[in-house]
Amino acid sequence: MTPRTDLARESRGLADEFSNLLNRTICHGIRLTSVITAGRDRSRTVIGYQITKDRLDAPECIPVTIGGEPRIWLGFSMRLEQDHEDKYLMVRQSVMLLSSSPDPKDALLHYDYERDKPDGYPDAHLQICATSEAWERIGLREDGSQRPLERLHLPVGGRRFRPTLEDMVEFLITDKLAEPRDGWKEAVEEGRQRFQRLQLRAAIRRQPEVAREMLAEMDD
Amino acid sequence: MTALLEPDSSVVVADAADLRAAIAGALERAGCTFDELADQARSGDFNSIQARLAWVAIGDLYDVDLDSAY
């Protein structure tokens, strides 16, 4: 397997973007790593915290703190590969979670994304690791099986409008679960604009006639 | 293989042996075989967050012959 130079450069850029976002907002000195490996028919990369060549499955969550003792941790794992035209880096799957300890086993909730998810559930969804008597009652499904709240797939906007790391950071700050650094809003906004621009470009590639129609309307 | 990459701690390249170790470790922490993990993914119902994280990290390598991939 010969990794493409673009994959190395682009995945490094993305890992650094995520690290910078966190270090400019709610974290201190953390660094995400990108591990490139062979895949089924193309190279792929996994981005995460404290991952290594032989441990790719998010061993530890990121302490959310800019100096004091953390009380909440953020888990992050993302797998990407080049698209079928080998032009763009494409996210295949990601998980963002909040945990009450560095161990992802103590997850409180997780946002999952799986492109072209084959099971009928939404590609982007939220799972909340909690329960209540009411949810247990409701979790008794039409087919007689039981599904607890933490295994329900709450839809969150679909492929183009799925929640991002910027959204998670903003949530933690605005709900006062994390102490922010000065200038956090600018960092969040910059990252958000980058994501939205990429999504818009992808949407236009898929449906150029819509973009042409809109531009024609605007020119009229 | 690493000749294409500038040394940088934020990017590393794994070889086949690394990947085998990564798969074995992820499955051990998920508490299941690769077949069972794939079943969980097909049904959209992972047994644990470790299984979910394992699927992100290694799911696309299910049934991949790593020797030929490298």
Residue type, B56: V
Tokens of A174: 């605005």
Q: What is the ipTM of this complex?
A: 0.90
Per-residue pLDDT at B24 exceeds 50: yes
Average pLDDT, chain A: 93
B10 to A37: CB separation less than 8 angstroms, yes or no = no
Pick from A73, A91, A209: nearest CA to A160: A91
- b/e A108-124 (16+ beta carbons within 10 angstroms → b): ebbbbbbeebeeebbbb
A56 to B58: CB separation less than 8 angstroms, yes or no = yes
The C-alpha atoms of residue A200 and residue A206 are separated, in whole angstroms, by 10
**Per-residue pLDDT reduced to its tens digit, A8-62:** 889 999 999 999 999 999 999 999 999 999 888 888 999 999 999 999 998 899 9
Give the pLDDT score at A41.
Answer: 84
Per-residue pLDDT at B67 exceeds 90: no
B44 to A92: CB separation less than 8 angstroms, yes or no = no
Pick from A28, A25, A55: nearest CA to A187: A25
Residues of B in contact with A75 (CB under 8 A): 53
| Distance in Å, alpha carbon of A179 to nearest chain B alpha carbon | 26
Q: How many CA atoms lie within 13 A of A57 on its CB side?
A: 25
**Per-residue pLDDT reduced to its tens digit, A157-176:** 888 889 999 999 999 999 99
Per-residue pLDDT at A108 exceeds 70: yes
Instruction: Report the residue of A5, A56, A108, A153 to disrupt the B interface, i.e. the one with the largest count of B CBs within 10 Å.
Output: A56
